Structure 1
Amino acid sequence: MSATVQGKCDPKFAKVREEFERNFAARGEVGASVCLSVNGETAVDLWGGMANPETNDPWREETISIVFSCTKAAVATCAHILIDRGELNPAARVSDYWPEFAKAGKEKTTVQMMLNHESALPTLRDPVKPGGFADWDYMAARMADEEAFWEPGTRNGYHMINFGWTVGELVRRVSGKTLGTFFREEVAEKTGAKFWIGLPESEQVHIAPIRPYIPKPDDQPTEFTVALMTDPASIQHKSFMNTGGWDFNDRKGQAAEIGGGGGLSNARGQVAWYTELATNSGRLVSADRLAAMSMVSVATQRDATLLIPTRFASGYMKSMDNRRLGLGPGTSAIIGERAFGHVGAGGSIGFADPDCGLAFSYTMNQMGGGLLLNDRGQSLIDAAYAALGYRTNAPGAWVR
């Protein structure tokens, strides 16, 4: 579809604008935003297309959409702020802060294991009650009561939505504030980021409803998708389907503090707080903590949930290059080697790269296929790194 693209773009990043426009013309984009800053200066801030084609409502400067698992990076940032203050110890047992958690094979689980998706709670076995995702105390109790799916710390498996309640409950217990309140006060208000974990009603008018991805006949299904569709007892099926009827286009779902995938923002909103991490400003965390946040803390050849190789840095995703493994499209997300951030379902992303002072985000309302990025988001990232003088991403991450 053709679309009007608005906003600003430094001529140095003209290729980013070209790829953004190509997304609408050739890659099925409906409505989207892309933003990046370099060394604290915004160089690209573009938006375009339709926020809601059914009502002919255009994507405006203030339009936001659910960014799904990009929210996990916001949750991780809250935890790292507490770690930096000495209030949360990554090596400590979770039970030091959350005594009820120490049962059902989880007694030795550490804070670091939770950040690494190693705490063995990738999903819940029994059904979530209707509306359960909007009931924080209920979900935290379910986390505490659930039996570990494996011995914590012996492997990692992406905690698709549960990450928001495992790590998020630690934030609540230590800070005494709800996750959404802590993020708002300690991150959003300090950086000017329009990013919410629990959307106030006043912002409802700006939402672009999410349009689910409709598989094409020639799509190559991933192993995750096969398990999701064929094995109701699998981690994959339960992670995706056992949601208590969570509707991410419903007001109740958007108002709830769902740290594993319910944040709402746009590209500018994510770049606002990632800029502080990309530039080592010290406004959110110290230089030492920032260095730790960018380091790989766990990697595997077969994630127990996603069933692909994954790499994480204490709650954030690192560059993941699975292009040569024949796992199907959408199983890679290639950024700089020092970069860290998170993708969201359908292909959104936000990240910081301290190596070059880059903060980047892309968000949209038309979901794409795959587990990680599709060609819409990756093309924008590739153009940004090329503009910054990076030579290639052939090694598995962008290098100069």
Structure 2
Amino acid sequence: MDVRGTVAEGFEPVREAFARNFAVLGERGAAVAVYRDGRRVVDLWGGAKDVAGGFPEDGDRGGAWQRGTAQVVRSATKGVAAAVLLLLRQRGELDLDAPVGEYWPEFKAHGKERVLVRHVLNHRAGLPVLDRPLTPAEALDPLRGPEAVAAQAPVWEPGTGHGYHALTYGWMLDELVRRVTGRGTGEWIAAEIAAPLDLDLWLGLPAAEEAAGRAGRVGDVGTPEPASPSSSGVLRARPKRSVTEAYQDPDSLTRRAFAAITPFPDQNDPAYRASVMPATNGIATADGLARFYAALIGDVRVDGRGGRGGVRLFDPATVELARAEESAGPDRVLVVGTRFGLGYMLHGSASPFLGPGSFGHPGRGGTLGFADPETGIAFGYVTNGFRRTVTADPRAQALVRAVRGSLGR
């Protein structure tokens, strides 16, 4: 595979691991970017822009992954969306310990009066499922998802346990942002995060970018196989109920959480890419994802923007807030043990990042973004070859290990 791009001295193992993903792990098209202390040290890409396209080595140069190729990043979107609530809190506009109903009165119905804003971020709201799943058309309507969650009763007492809110997370977060700011999450991210950092990252792909995508910017992704958090092989403890059994049971929280939209929309449909679902349909380049995380933990220079030190999103107190453990142990939806801070997965067996202080979010099928404040590392990986994995994809993990080795850890 003709891997293109650059790596700084000392990060050559990342290039080797990236090439090996194509040769051994069946990668179709992908990119990886790494920042250290706000400076890009890895910027690699290769393969086919569209998962069904030909490889450049086969003469299909028009279908080659380019440096600016972007992809749907699925649940890696959650980490970007979480930053909105934390930044609103940082600015004094939102209280994480206030009931959600204080900002969104209709939400208080059916026993949800005690659901706090922090419960939305730490997956303790007790609302991972919908009794009546949304159709694809309903899911693309920005009003229908929040309305459905507001009408839903919790399936456990809010705050008493945690379980991954695979899709409902986004509708709750989006409505909170709208009630507090008057803007939707996608609009807020575009103005307050993507523009200052000059990110190739969108929640709600603009029409101009969709047109550019037809000419080779936004690649087509594959259809994920049935999800399985255990397929990465990194989970050490066997749950009392196997993950496979949970996914096969139509009445399980596992199956119902991922079926809150049934059937799931075509991720390559322009209507899907233009919609705003903060749990699942962000679009980004690897560099956009990595630079976002770099700006959470430090200053990033962006064409003279920002102060002398560049652009930074989180102050030190918010970084600590994001990565302080809020939920840990058996996950009522994913079955296996998970760890969450406020909107971010934390380093652990289900979501291995760089080290104990890392925080970020994977996307179902392979995508991964995270930051590690101790080393100043920010990481972004996007792929069009979706796999079964929900958390620890082998291709992403090979790259993380290479970064760790480059740092001598």
| Alignment partner of 1:292 is 2:292 | no
Distance of 2:340 and 2:9 partners within structure 1: 34
Larger mean Cα displacement after TM superposition, 30-39 or 287-296: 287-296
Report what 1:165 is aligned to: 171
Q: Could you say if the C-alpha distance between residues 126 and 214 of structure 1 is closer, same or farther in structure 2, counting changes exceeding 3 Å?
A: closer
Q: State whether structure 2 residue 312 is matched by structure 1 residue 283.
A: yes
Instruction: Provide Cα deviations, 1:42-74, integer angstroms capped at 9, x if missing partner.
Output: 000000001125443111111111100000001
For 2:133 and 2:402, locate their aligned partners in 1 and report how far apart those are by CA, in whole Å: 44
| Paired position in structure 2 for 1:328 | none
Distance 1:286 1:48, change over 3 A: same
2:108 & 2:391 partners in 1: Cα distance? 33
Alignment partner of 1:18: what SS?
Answer: helix
- How far 1:34 sits from its partner (Å)? 0.3
Q: Which residue of 1 aligns with 2:258?
A: 240
The secondary structure found in structure 1 opposite 2:67 is: coil
Q: Report the equivalent of 1:109.
A: 115
Distance 2:347 2:299 in 1: 20
Which residue of structure 1 lines up, in the alignment, with residue 198 of structure 2? 192
Tell me by how many angstroms 1:354 deviates.
Answer: 1.0
User: Displacement of 1:240 after TM fit?
Assistant: 2.0
1:309 to 337, 362, 377: 337
Task: Tell me the alpha carbon deviations over residues 21-57 of structure 1, each in whole angstroms, 9 at most, x when there is no partner.
Answer: 0000010100000000101110000000011254431
Contact map agreement 1:318 1:335 (CA 8 A) in 2: no
The one-letter code matched in structure 2 to 1:236 is T
Match of 1:209 among 201, 220, 237: 220
Cα 1:201/1:166, change in 2 over 3 Å: same
Q: Pick the aligned partner of 2:20 from 19, 22, 27.
A: 22
Counting aligned pairs with the same residue, the percent is 35
Q: Identify if the C-alpha distance between structure 1 residues 233 and 372 changes in structure 2 by more than 3 Å, giving closer, same or farther.
A: same
What's 1:84 paired with? 90
Give, in angstroms, the shift of residue 278 of structure 1. Answer: 2.7
Q: 1:333 aligns with which of 335, 349, 352?
A: 352
1:61 aligns with 2:45: no
Secondary structure at 2:32 match in 1:
strand
1:71, 1:260 within 8 Å by CA — same for their partners in 2?
yes
Q: Counterpart of 1:211 in structure 2: which amino acid?
A: G
Alignment match, 1:395: none
Q: RMSD between aligned alpha carbons?
A: 1.9
User: Which of 34, 37, 40 lines up with 2:38 in the alignment?
Assistant: 40
Is 1:320 aligned to 2:348, yes or no?
yes
Equivalent in the alignment of 2:269: 250
Counterpart Cα distance in 1 of 2:177 and 2:397: 32
CA 1:36–1:18: 2 relative to 1, 3 Å: same
Opposite residue 136 of structure 1, the aligned amino acid is P
| 1:270 and 1:361 in contact (8 A); partners too | yes
Query: Structure 2: how far apart are the matches of 1:54 and 1:381?
Result: 26
Q: State the Cα distance separating 1:332 from its structure 2 match.
A: 4.3
1:145 CA displacement = 0.7
Q: Could you tell me how far apart the structure 2 residues matched to 1:366 and 1:224 are?
A: 22
Deviation at residue 214 of structure 1 after TM alignment: 4.9
**Structure 2 unaligned residues grouped into runs of 5+:** 55-62, 301-310
Q: Is the 8 A contact 2:78 2:361 kept in 1?
A: yes
